[in-house]
Amino acid sequence: MSSKPLVARPLDVVAEWSSRAVPAFVLAAIATTGSSQAWAQTSPPPSSSAALPASSASPAPSASPHKDKKPASGDAITVVVTGTRAPTEAIDVPADVKIVGPERLRRPGSKGAPAALTEISGVKLNPRQENAIFTDLEVRGLTGNATSGGNVLVLLDGIPQRRLSGAAYLGALPYESIWREELVKGAMSGLYGRNALAGALQLFSDPGSYENRLEVSTFYEHPTRDGRTALKFSGPIGSEPISGTKLSTYSIAGSYNQTGGWQPRTARQKGDVYLHVNLALSARDTLTLLSGFFTGAEEYVSPVPVDNAGHRLPGVPRNANYGIPDQNSLDLLETRLGARHTRAWSENITTKLTAAYWRGDTDWKIGRPDDRPDTGTIMARFTGNRRSLEISTFTEAELELKGRLTPELAGSLNAGASYEYLTYDMTSTDITTQAEFAATGGRYTRGVPIDYLTRQEPGSSTWVYSDKSKRNTFEHDVGRFARAQLAIADRVFVSGGARSDWFSRTQENPATGERAERSDSAFSPSAGVSVAVLRSADHKLNLFGNRGQGFSPVFRAVNNTQFADVRPESSRSIEVGAKALLWRKTLEMTAVLYELDRFDIVAMNPGTKLQENVGDWRIRGVETDVRVRPIRPLTVYAGFAHRDPIIGRYYANPALQGNKIPFISNQILSAGVEGKAPFDMGAGTEVRYYSSFYGNEQNSFKLPAYALWDLWMFYDATKSIRVAAFVKNILDTDYFSTVFNGVRNGSAFVGTPRTYGVSLRGKF
């Protein structure tokens, strides 16, 4: 273990204000979706049919204070604010959309908001280590990377969580405050703007309640030595309504998490606090304020070298960490501020104005293997220090018109504009040893070597530091959007619209005076239709289809010395499918056939050693989800995805065309059962299977398939206190969660072994 103590930065004065407001129809739609003051019945994993608010400014279910009441066990939230920007029955939404409610989010053993998505077909988490700040989310084969950033756009209470340096850090999101998640699959830039190449994930925080409440929770897990404690307060603001019609509400949650880690030098500390305030200023005006702060300090595990069969090289133990002591860590501070004002001018006209601010301070010490050894046992490790300051400001204005044109025809129109300004200031220093510096003729490329069998390495007294290099990046993004929806005879639901974005990027090197500029634009149309072919009191069946586009202007050169002049990456998705709610919602099914194309991928060209547009990908697949409630306290569910990921074009090396896209499992299967007995006890189990996947574009090595089996059980000691225990990875499967470097031979991150844990949660 490292002798240097790992100390998280203190939880200081924190403020993040962001807003979200809701017209009256949303209040009615979600009145039954809040948390309960008692445990009542244990809800099974939530309904798989729901939808995401249509844009960062669209009304969100979480913006309405919920009463202490929730749906009965197994009931679906049937009315949602959708990707069409209008409240719609979930089954009528012309897209593949999923919802995750509070019971699934708080399942025993769950450590963060992304963990609740694993039972959804076609979704995979790619953590580099357990409960890490930095975790990739893969949807339909696209995951976050350093070129296009996040291929799934993440929104928190309607505000985009975008970074110039890449995707949002999922482990830094305020988990304890989140009470609902919604995932829309497919290219979504027509609704959400940049980064929505494969979909959009919306997280809703607790908007507060009309009664004072306190929630406390704690858990501990072994052998990860992972512990967490959290508090949440919520209630009304004042005893009388400000407007004379409704109370203002608040919710504030905070947590502290400390991890020792099951691998050497993987300790972690992180804490967060998040505030959600809904102010009812008048009968027509609502102001929602959000604020949050996150602090984390994390020692990183390194990937381990693997052979062509996807196994660790001889002599490499399962818990190996070849990261350089005291030189492989991440310190992160995040602050969020924002506000949204909503004005209901009439029953048919609403306006929304949003303003938000985000700041991230990052200190990243990099000291991990760059490659497995080609010969012998010596392995080079890339080494450097990176400090960055990243700031994002976001504003959006939206007008919503809705009404019934004829008795058989209802419609809505949403239109608006947004402006986003992002800055990224980075200072970096490369490190090598005196011997490597001399052997390479004064270069820092090899870093610090290590003998991976003896773990012997040169001491820090032999290190040589390069001069600091600086890079300042500034980006402007102006977007305009319009979206319309028609409901014809409550049988045919048509949605269509487009978004136009113009963006410019300036990169500067203050030390040399070098400067580069790039501007471009993107037009992202989308359209969908859903037709109710069966509609009765007991059964509903809809057929739907849609087409959408996505784009991402994030360039890898933000983090290195190259000024890249590349086209933005883009995507196109087409899908058709069916949704069914049968036998009074006791059987729920979704089946989707899709094609997702990704164009102008930015990556390192092996020939030029520069970041360039290197080619296109195509992923075709089928996804299906089934949820059955044979008796009310019991739910059985399953999800399956099969996809065919193909490299369509590769300009740098045409020989790779037709190969499989790396890092993508062809099949993903999840299945589980959960229920509660009459004597206040409940239990559940879930199995997830991931087929083997290639580690590089050359398809020269493969990581093996694996399955993970989890089990949990709980006891409601009172109506307010729940005690739970859980076991994850029951069979102690030895697996790799994701590939790190497949270009040179191969390295990968080892998955977490079997863990045991207990948790306690109370609501008062």
Residue 229's contacts (CB-CB under 8 Å, 6 or more residues apart) are: 217, 218, 255, 256
Q: What is the pLDDT of residues 301-319, one digit of tens each?
A: 998 888 888 889 888 999 9
CA proximity to 388, closest of 598, 163, 219, 55: 163
The answer to whether residue 11 is domain-embedded is: no
Whether 395 and 354 have beta carbons less than 8 Å apart is answered as yes
Q: What is the pLDDT of residues 626-683, one digit of tens each?
A: 999 999 899 999 999 999 999 999 988 899 999 999 889 999 999 999 999 988 999 9
Residue 448's contacts (CB-CB under 8 Å, 6 or more residues apart) are: 324, 327, 367, 380, 381, 383, 431, 432, 433, 436, 457, 458, 463
The answer to whether residue 18 is domain-embedded is: no
Whether 73 and 632 have beta carbons less than 8 Å apart is answered as yes
User: Cα–Cα distance between 188 and 374 in angstroms, integer?
Assistant: 43
E-strand stretches of 199-320: 199-205, 213-222, 226-237, 248-259, 268-280, 285-299, 304-305
* Mean pLDDT computed over 129-153: 75
The answer to whether residue 739 is domain-embedded is: yes
The answer to whether residue 121 is domain-embedded is: yes
What pLDDT band is residue 127 in, cutting at 50, 70 and 90?
confident
The DSSP bridge pattern shows strands 213-222 and 226-237 to be antiparallel
User: Cα–Cα distance between 478 and 415 in angstroms, integer?
Assistant: 14
The answer to whether residue 3 is domain-embedded is: no
Q: What count of Cα atoms within 13 Å lies in the side-chain half-sphere of residue 402?
A: 20
pLDDT, position 761: 96
Record the tokens describing residue 335, joined without a space.
Answer: 């602050």
User: Cα–Cα distance between 497 and 526 in angstroms, integer?
Assistant: 6
* Mean pLDDT computed over 43-47: 32
Say how many domains are in the chain.
Answer: 1
Residue 253: is its pLDDT beyond 50?
yes
Calculate the CA 278 to chain-centre distance: 25
Whether 199 and 182 have beta carbons less than 8 Å apart is answered as no
* Most confident of the ranges 57-66, 128-137, 391-400: 391-400
Residue 176 dihedral angles phi and psi, to the nearest 5°: -65, -25
CA proximity to 164, closest of 422, 418, 388, 395: 422
Residue 625: is its pLDDT beyond 50?
yes
Residue 56: is its pLDDT beyond 80?
no
What pLDDT band is residue 41 in, cutting at 50, 70 and 90?
very low
Q: What is the pLDDT of residues 411-467, one digit of tens each?
A: 999 999 999 999 999 999 999 999 999 988 888 888 899 988 888 999 899 999 999
pLDDT, position 349: 96
Q: What is the pLDDT of residues 334-379, one digit of tens each?
A: 999 999 999 999 999 999 999 999 999 999 999 988 777 766 788 8
The answer to whether residue 12 is domain-embedded is: no
pLDDT, position 454: 87
* Mean pLDDT computed over 112-125: 88
Average pLDDT, the chain: 84
pLDDT, position 455: 86
* Most confident of the ranges 29-38, 112-121, 158-167, 483-492: 483-492
Check: pTM over 0.85? Answer yes or no.
yes
E-strand stretches of 434-568: 450-451, 463-465, 469-488, 492-509, 514-535, 540-552
The answer to whether residue 355 is domain-embedded is: yes
User: Cα–Cα distance between 498 and 485 in angstroms, integer?
Assistant: 12
The answer to whether residue 492 is domain-embedded is: yes
Q: Which domain holds residue 165?
A: 24-763
Residues facing 249 on adjacent strands: 236, 278
Lowest model confidence (mean pLDDT) among 22-36, 382-396, 438-452, 617-631:
22-36
Q: What is the pLDDT of residues 717-726, one digit of tens each?
A: 999 999 999 9
Lowest model confidence (mean pLDDT) among 11-25, 119-133, 568-582:
11-25
User: Cα–Cα distance between 641 and 401 in angstroms, integer?
Assistant: 38
CA proximity to 355, closest of 391, 399, 396: 396
Phi-psi region of 179 (alpha: psi -120 to 50; beta: other; left: phi over 0): alpha
Residue 435: which H helix or E strand, with range? Answer: helix 434-439
Give me the CATH number covering residue 169.
2.40.170.20
**C-alpha dihedral (554, 560, 562, 563), degrees to nearest 10:** 40
E-strand stretches of 18-147: 79-81, 87-89, 97-100, 123-127, 135-139
The DSSP bridge pattern shows strands 248-259 and 569-582 to be unpaired
User: Cα–Cα distance between 541 and 92 in angstroms, integer?
Assistant: 9
SS3 434: helix
What pLDDT band is residue 132 in, cutting at 50, 70 and 90?
confident
